[in-house]
Structure 1
Amino acid sequence: MGGVVLGFSVVAVLALVGVAIAALARDMSITIQKGITPLVYYVTNPCLMVVVVSTTDVKAVAGLYTPLALAVALLTAACFTIYALLASRKAEDVAVGAMASSYANIGNIGIPVALYVVGNTEPVVAFLLAQLLVQAPMYLTIFGLISRRRASQEPGGSRAKMILASVFNPTTIGVLIGATISLVGITLPTVIWDPLEMIGETSIPLMLLIFGMSLYRQRPFTNRDKLPDSLVATFCKVLVMPGIALLLGGLVFGLQGSDLLGVVAMAALPTAQNVLLFSLHYRMPVIVPQDVIVSTSVLALPVTLLAAWLIAV
């Protein structure tokens, strides 16, 4: 269980560094965040996607686990969407809340959790592919369409151009390049691969710093108007998503033991900082992602440990 605690501790420490930067240099931290956000979105995160996906056997993990991971995430997002529609929320609030309730921090915490709790990284890769190849492009497309619709001066503008511009974003392009490298079996020269890997490795700590700085300026769960959405999204991420994973994995897909635990553990992970990054970039509402990232980061560890104990007994 030490890897689980370590993974959560790394996230907490880096986020606290971001909080400290904002507390000690408030005005400068705003400038830093404005500079880092596009850097991560356009450069470091796409490089990370290329590295992660290209070093994965896409064919091997795209069978059983990836469809299960995708079904778990989409059903969880649907639960929040139903609530948001019944509550008459705006399109941007529905989209952001749905992503916050179903997009897990697989890349940062998933690996130590899988290694130390499950014993292999297959569930990590499966959830990662589901998020990178389907969820991220889907949400970025939705975010882009909403953002462009709000900013458009001409309601009759080309919808096709809007969709293409949203689908072919840097993150999706990075995933597609990585998947191509993996499927074709290309080996990049060291002079290209090493710099690519170095740039990609900076993405996660930079995202955590952004999260910490934004957290200092917007304290979690202080906006009463957004509080119901934050609470529902937290409930969906911490309890509904692992519950769906347990039911689908055990009853529908027939998984048992460590295989089932791997799926449930990945579903129980906290909301990823990417949700905040994407929301900032597309100028979407950020209060709910901030709240849910904080709450799920606190609650995910006991839920993950509880899932490990329940499935083991």
Structure 2
Amino acid sequence: MLGLLSAMQGFCIIGIVIFVGYIASRYRIGGPTAQMVLNRYSFFVTSPCLMFAVMAKQPLRDIFHPSIIIAFFSAAIVGGLFVVLNKMFFHMNAADTTIGALNSLYLNSNNIGLPVATYILGNPALVAPILVMQQALFTPIGLTALDVTTKGKFSLMAVLRQPLHQPLLIGSLSGILISAITAYSGHFIIPDFLFKPIDMIGDSAVPMILMAFGMSLRGSQPMRKGTNRRATVTVVMLKNVIMPIVAFIIAYFFMGFRGMELYGCVVLAALPTGQNVYNYAARYNVGLTFARDGILVSTITSPLIIAIIAAVLS
């Protein structure tokens, strides 16, 4: 119960930072372009530094833990389900469909995943495989799709070059490379005077993303009339309910996980949609309301789902 309470405190911390962004926007602190500046700065500078710092310090055995298989298939299944449901019922365009799929499968592994892994599961390294899977696979696929659909044309060379344009992926892969070199050499090869500035810049990524998200809430009415409420409810159900169920089935019946391994996979699958999805939507100026509503509603409902999972499995 104490661990669950600590995780709920983590949700409270996130809410406070989002609220600070909302207040800053309400009183026009930073001017009319503050939200855009925070989004772009976090996308190109602070988030890549964060991913590099996290990955560089993680042992390879934690980064490539077998749970990455469960994270991949559970995310791929719910993302694919949204695409199918959109084809049947919602009929969104390709760019908005991409945002919906990301809303359904993308886990908030940093802001909420780390405290949940620390205070409920007792091991913050459990989020490392999710970080790798999302940043090395789903993020480039999603951003490539957004790049292609917003430009209105398909270019194979543009798709092949896309990973070179993804700062988050570059930061993640660079960190994994440093982790591998560290494992081979037996010591961390980057001196403190170089690593600490990167780590310091990375520490600002999460509050920047959260405050930019809070700024987007000013004057907005989540789930208001005229928005695609059915699609938003669908992505929240896929993210917070279906994904943990799929993760349980894969972990229990196919991977043979039991005890804390099984519990950890299911709890992490119930994390809400990551704020990065809104950052990507803002970067390409598509599906902003859809992304924001999905993130907000899944963040509100996720603590209840995690509490139920804890009561059943812990």
Interval containing the TM-score (normalised by the shorter chain): over 0.9
Distance 1:263 1:30 in 2: 41
Q: TM-score, normalised to structure 1's length?
A: 0.92
Query: Does residue 252 of the first structure (1) align with residue 260 of the second (2)?
Result: no
Letter aligned with residue 181 of structure 2: V
Q: Give SS of 2:218's match.
A: helix
Distance 1:84 1:208 in 2: 28
Distance 1:261-1:245 versus aligned 2 partners, 3 A rule: same
The Cα shift of 1:165 comes to 4.2
Distance 2:105 2:174 in 1: 25
Is contact 1:221–1:227 with CA below 8 Å preserved after alignment?
yes
Distance 2:138 2:60 in 1: 16
Is contact 2:227–2:290 with CA below 8 Å preserved after alignment?
no
Equivalent positions of 1:21-40 (< 5 A) are: 21-25=24-28, 28-40=30-42
Q: Give SS of 1:30's match.
A: coil
Partner residue of 1:179 out of 176, 180, 185 = 176
Letter aligned with residue 106 of structure 2: Y
Is contact 2:62–2:129 with CA below 8 Å preserved after alignment?
no
Partner residue of 1:166 out of 158, 162, 171 = 162
Paired residue for 1:13?
A: 16
Is contact 1:53–1:182 with CA below 8 Å preserved after alignment?
yes
Q: Deviations over 1:173-201 (max 9, x none)?
A: 11111111111225211111011000000
Greater shift in the superposed pair: 1-10 or 191-200:
1-10
Distance 1:131 1:8 in 2: 21
Is contact 1:145–1:166 with CA below 8 Å preserved after alignment?
no
Unaligned runs of 5+ in 2: 183-187
Cα-Cα RMSD? 1.6
Q: Segments of 4+ in structure 1 off by > 3 A?
A: none
Unaligned runs of 5+ in 1: 150-154
Q: Give SS of 1:240's match.
A: helix
Equivalent positions of 1:129-168 (< 5 A) are: 129-149=132-152, 159-168=155-164
Distance 1:108 1:64 in 2: 23
Paired residue for 1:152?
A: none
Distance 2:140 2:22 in 1: 30
Is contact 1:270–1:296 with CA below 8 Å preserved after alignment?
yes
Is contact 1:29–1:213 with CA below 8 Å preserved after alignment?
no
Equivalent positions of 1:1-313 (< 5 A) are: 1-25=4-28, 28-87=30-89, 88-149=91-152, 159-168=155-164, 169-185=166-182, 187-312=189-314
Distance 1:140-1:8 versus aligned 2 partners, 3 A rule: same
Q: TM-score, normalised to structure 2's length?
A: 0.92
Distance 2:50 2:38 in 1: 15
The Cα shift of 1:61 comes to 3.8
The Cα shift of 1:40 comes to 0.8
